[in-house]
Structure 1
Amino acid sequence: MVFRKYGPHWRKMRKLCTLELLSNIKINSFRSMRKQELGIFVNFIKQASSNHVEVDLSAKFASLSANMSCLMVFGKKYMEEEFDERVFKNIIEETLFLVASPNIGEFFPFLSVFDLRGFIARLKDLAKIFDEFFEKFIDDHVQLKEKN
């Protein structure tokens, strides 16, 4: 949805996400999974504190969020090994940064052909990475169905 232009398709996708992914029933159905992931997180923090180990909480919270999101959307955790040499967290952070950053071409359309800040090239690279990831996810899903 992030990379699509606003239009009928975008509105249908938004409606689908709202009704299927973000409904109260769907969110509540993942309560036990969220509780389990939070338990793993708390145990990690307890163990690190008892061993007097320094922990990067920002990274751990990002990892927790990514784990929960992947489990809810894909049914399994997808982390570093699923994205070439780039880390899942870095790809999500870069996507959020690019989507949230103002692009000069959006304010002055005649400048968009120059891509002054390199947004279009970076977004195309990210879109390619996500396409490869989703292709792998679809292939895994098809293979799993064929086995059953």
Structure 2
Amino acid sequence: MVSPLLILCLALPLLLLIFFQNRRNLNKWHLPPGPKGLPIIGNLHQLDSSILYLQLWQLSKKYGPLYSLKFGLRRAIVVSSAQLAKEVLKDHDLECCGRPKLLGQQTLFYNGSEVIFSTYGEFWREIRKICIVHVLSYRHVSRFAPIRQHEVKNMMKKISRNASSSKLTNLNEALVAHASSIISRIVFGRSYDDEEAERSRFHGLLNDCQAMMVAFFFYDYIPLLGWIDRLTGQQARLDGIFKEVDKFTQEVIDEHSDPSRKRTTENEDVTDLLLQLQKRRSTSVELTDDVVKAILMV
């Protein structure tokens, strides 16, 4: 276990350099008012992710519908009125359509090679077109209706069996399992609830990915202190989860690319659709395996 005191001593010179540099840069910005934070870390210590929506609402009562926050070296503008939100999202959508590039998201989604975390531009527009026209079209979504109906019946049967035997049903767990079963069958063409080992692996990857998506990395807010993520093992954990995700998605692609696999219109899934587009080379962007994996992750 690395000593926090050792980390502080190693980081102190960099922290001082960042502090004075950041103070000079702030004079160039004309930002809305907001709560005062601490040097370097800004308002990070004042926010709790579990009740963030309440804290942002309370701050809007004090600082108005438009105020600023500081997350390390990142500046954020909070919009909390319908009128301003409409102006930002409709009138200035191109200026505000990007997302911050956070380490966990960029790593797990192959440097934003999909429709959610990619930078707005030609690549994003083409990937969005692929998803809307080829993956989420009315024809394809309608074809998956029997899968959804079958999984709903299965969930209802499980709840009914529990009720008949006077057993409690955890609806949260039942709905999560129901949703993951539908998604896995539509995207991968198989259910991971049939085999205990595969189910544990699949749900374990989902839980690990969700944890890394919201995990705190020094690199995201103070890039020069990114080495602390390696020192604490956070970077190693992220890299390990990504390797498992990449291995899983590669197995899916290999399974669907197997010439001996029986494939019909009825059992065609999202992976089949993407691999067909990849083979035909009918898109303006190259659908590499990494791009296909990133879309599957979404």
Given the superposition, is the C-alpha separation of residues 16 and 111 from structure 1 closer, same or farther in structure 2, using an over 3 Å criterion? farther
Q: Which runs of 5+ in 1 are unaligned?
A: none
1:35 Cα deviation after fit: 1.0
TM value normalised by structure 2: 0.42
Cα displacement string for residues 73-130 of structure 1 (whole angstroms, at most 9, x for unaligned residues): 11111355337xx532232122112113343321111112221664432221111112
Q: Which runs of 5+ in 2 are unaligned?
A: 1-107, 113-117, 263-298
What is residue 139 of structure 1 aligned with on the other side?
Answer: 254
1:81 aligns with 2:197: yes
Contact 1:98 1:119 (8 Å CA) reproduced: no
Q: Give the Cα separation in 2 of the matches to 1:60 and 1:10.
A: 37
Task: Tell me the secondary structure at the aligned position of residue 191 of structure 2.
Answer: coil
Task: Tell me the secondary structure at the aligned position of residue 166 of structure 2.
Answer: coil
1:38 Cα deviation after fit: 0.5
Q: Give the Cα separation in 2 of the matches to 1:146 and 1:50.
A: 44
Query: What is the aligned counterpart of 1:4 among 102, 107, 111?
Result: 111
Query: What is the aligned counterpart of 2:215 among 97, 101, 109?
Result: 101
Amino acid in structure 1 at the alignment position of 2:257: V
1:114 aligns with 2:228: yes
Higher helix share: 1
Larger relative contact order, structure 1 or 2 (CA cutoff 8 Å, min sep 6): 2
Count of matched residue positions in the alignment of Structure 1 and Structure 2: 145
Given the superposition, is the C-alpha separation of residues 60 and 123 from structure 1 closer, same or farther in structure 2, using an over 3 Å criterion? same
TM value normalised by structure 1: 0.78
Contact 1:4 1:10 (8 Å CA) reproduced: no
Supply the RMSD in Å over aligned alpha carbons: 2.8
Task: Tell me the secondary structure at the aligned position of residue 226 of structure 2.
Answer: helix
Q: Give the Cα separation in 2 of the matches to 1:140 and 1:56.
A: 34
